[in-house]
Amino acid sequence: MGLDRRLIELTRGTRKWIVTAIGLGWLIVALNVAQVSIIGRVIGEALEGQLRLEWLLLMFVGIVPLRAGLNWAARLASHRSAGQTKLLLRDRLYTHLLDLGPGYLESERTGALVHTAVEGVEALEVYFGQYLPQFVLGVSIPILLCGYIATMDWMTAAALLVTLPLIPASLMVIQRKLRNVSEKYWTSAGKLSAQFLDSIQGLTTLKMFNRGKARAEEMQGQAERLRQDTMRLLSINLISLFFIDWVSTLGTTVVACGMAAWRLQTGAITYSEAVMLTLLSLEMARPLILLGSYFHAGASGAAAAQRIFEILDIQPQVQEAPDAVSPVINTPHIRFEHVCLAYDNGERPALEDVSFEIHPGEMVALVGASGAGKSSVVNLLFRFFDPQKGIISLGGNRLSNLSLDWLRRQMALVAQDAYLFHGTVAENLCLAKPEATQAELKAAARMTSVHDLIEALPEGYATQVGEHGLSLSGGQVQCIAIARAVLKDAPIV
């Protein structure tokens, strides 16, 4: 499926707003035509010595306020379509990243993903809100106006129809070039975002090894490449705007004015019709010029969408079986049988012929040097990865036959670097059990000996923690994370 077609598919839930914006655009053009007709008639009557000001009064009292209201409504519809499309796309992207799991996220740079999910989706606002409706209007309005002009003079309409194809042909040439340059720009911006976030996250390490200056030079080089790509994009955009304006003017205004003068001289049209033809040529050029001004945004949005679709096209490494089950397990023992795991398509071994069994109530410690495969065992238990060889079972059921949601509800993980989200202590605990009561929260905290610590906080369980909240020590964060795991009422790994 082509990129443009996939972009159209994204509007499935918001097409009513896009159609509304296009329909209002047609109504606005109809009012502009009515205004042009009144102006042409007034000028024609003035030249004939029969000026009637009531036509001007009708235009300023009726048409101008109505057109202003329709313009406001069209903008509102455009923003609604763009906003809802962005919301749906972000939900889809976030859900897909959850499905891909840590296995994919560990292989991608966080800064590049954040740039795609934030700036990339934002770039589509102009595409769906302005470029897409204007594209339809830019193609349809000149043809409709040619039909109206034919009612006054068919020869002028025929001449305009001959020159109109020059405009979309030039747009197609420019679009291809703009899209290529936009893709380079988004690639450079994504690399700089990833490099910047990596530097912020590893700032302590950079300072410890005195690599801050070298890292700054690397970022400066990437920033320079981004500047060059940005200026190249802007230069092509300015050239395209000039070219589109020139072609639009040549294909509409110049032709219409020349034909109007000739037909007036031959007596085929009146003074009023000549003025109307001249002014209508401006209305024909207006949607094409507006389309040219949005072309840069459209190409930029398409380039950002290309990266988004690349992520959405990635299939999760771990697939849930079509007949996955959620069994009732009375003895949740875990068994590894001759398990082998290797990362990077089998090129980086992590586990080799590992076998063990953990029975209910047992406390087991996996001890080994860094890189021995301890974290890999945890990743296999949660099915973030599947082993290349061997069998892993829970309560006698192979993990590959179990529902992923059910499986991950049965276990709790307390990582070495625990994380508290912005919110209260109670809200962080409820991540494990959203329906938990206050009594259950306190019971879990007492089991992990963290209840007194929480009660000693300024507002107890209602204390704000996490980003912009009360700063806690690493040990306190770890204790709250353990209480959260206990609240889940599942074995802790």
Instruction: Pick the most confident of 195-204, 302-311, 352-361.
Output: 352-361
Report CA torsion sign: 323, 324, 330, 334: positive
Tokens describing residue 282:
């401006």
Provide the CA 400 distance to its chain's centre, in angstroms: 33
342, 388 contact by CB (below 8 A): yes
Phi, psi of 243 (to 5 degrees): -65, -45
pTM above 0.95, yes or no: no
CA distance 411 to 365: 16
Q: Band of the pLDDT at 21, cuts 50, 70, 90? A: confident
With CA atoms as reference, report the closest residue to 360 among 396, 391, 310, 317. Answer: 396
| Residues 299/178, Cβ–Cβ less than 8 Å | yes
Confidence at residue 53, expressed as pLDDT on a 0 to 100 scale: 66
pLDDT in tens, 202-254: 787 778 778 888 888 888 888 898 898 888 887 877 777 777 777 767 767 78
CA dist 136 → 21, 85, 125, 173, 238 (Å): 10, 18, 17, 18, 22
**Phi-psi region at 146: left, alpha or beta (left = phi > 0; alpha = psi -120 to 50):** alpha
Decide if pLDDT at 467 tops 70: no
Of the candidates 397, 402, 482, the one whose C-alpha atom is nearest the C-alpha of residue 444 is 482
| Residues paired with 340 in a beta bridge | 389
